[in-house]
């Protein structure tokens, strides 16, 4: 998984896997999802991210099962 934030465009990009993208769907006017051939989510793009998500407070935690 890769998370990228582009400050110049205020765009958040989250890549869940590196599968080949065959379709991009608009979820709303500022959110797109990328799907692979089986319909699995590959990535999410969010425009105006600083207003729609708490980007500076991002954290990651892995919890053992």
pLDDT in tens, 3-50: 999 999 999 999 999 999 999 999 999 999 999 999 999 999 999 999
Q: Determine the pLDDT at residue 53.
A: 86
The pLDDT-based confidence of 55 (bands split at 50, 70, 90) is confident
pLDDT value at 56 more than 80: no
Report how far residue 2's alpha carbon sits from residue 33's, in angstroms, rounded to the nearest whole number: 15
Report how far residue 39's alpha carbon sits from residue 8's, in angstroms, rounded to the nearest whole number: 31
- As to burial, measured by CB atoms within 10 angstroms (0-12 exposed, 13-18 middle, 19+ buried), residue 12 is buried
């Amino acid at each position: 998984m890769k998370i990228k934030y582009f400050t110049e465009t205020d765009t958040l990009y989250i890549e869940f896997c590196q599968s080949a993208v065959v379709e991009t769907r608009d979820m709303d006017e500022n959110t797109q999802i990328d799907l692979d051939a089986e319909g699995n989510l590959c990535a999410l793009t969010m425009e105006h991210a600083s207003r729609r998500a708490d980007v500076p407070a991002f954290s990651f935690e892995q919890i053992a099962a």
